[in-house]
Amino acid sequence: MDDEPTRRTLAAHLERAELMYDLDRVPDARAEVDAALRIDPLHPDANAMAGVVALAEHDPDEALVYTGAALAHRPQHARAMIVRGYALADAERREEALQAAASLLDLDRTSWINHVHYALITRRAGAGQPALDAAWNAVNLAPDQPRTHLALAAVAESLDMSDLAGRSRQAAADLEPEAAAGGAQRLPREARRESRSYVDADPDDPHWRAKIYGGGLFRGALGRSILLGLSVVFAVPALLGTEMDTGTRLLFALVAAGCWVSWFTVLRRHRRAE
pLDDT score recorded for residue 245: 72
| One domain for residues 15 and 100 | yes
Report angle CA 18, 23, 27 to the nearest 5 degrees.
75
Terminal-residue alpha carbon distance, the chain: 33
| One domain for residues 48 and 91 | yes
pLDDT score recorded for residue 210: 52
Last residue of a domain, one of 169, 198, 227: 198
What is the domain extent for residue 158?
5-198
| One domain for residues 112 and 135 | yes
176-199 burial, b if ≥16 CB within 10 A, otherwise e? beebbeeeeebbebbbeeeeeebb
Residues 39-62 have pLDDT tens digits of 999 999 999 999 999 998 888 999
Confidence of residue 189 (pLDDT cuts 50, 70, 90): low
Say if residues 137 and 115 touch (Cβ distance below 8 Å). Answer: yes
pLDDT score recorded for residue 155: 92
Last residue of a domain, one of 164, 198, 232: 198
pLDDT score recorded for residue 180: 56
Q: What is the CA radius of gyration of the chain?
A: 20
Q: Give the list of residues 6+ apart from residue 202 with CB closer than 8 angstroms, or none.
A: 208
Residues 120-175 have pLDDT tens digits of 999 988 888 999 999 999 999 999 999 999 999 999 998 889 999 999 989 988 98
One-character DSSP codes across 109-152: TT-HHHHHHHHHHHHHTT-HHHHHHHHHHHHHH-TT-HHHHHHH
| One domain for residues 127 and 234 | no
Residue 255 has pLDDT above 80, yes or no: no
| One domain for residues 107 and 189 | yes
Last residue of a domain, one of 198, 228, 252: 198
| One domain for residues 106 and 194 | yes
pTM confidence score:
0.68
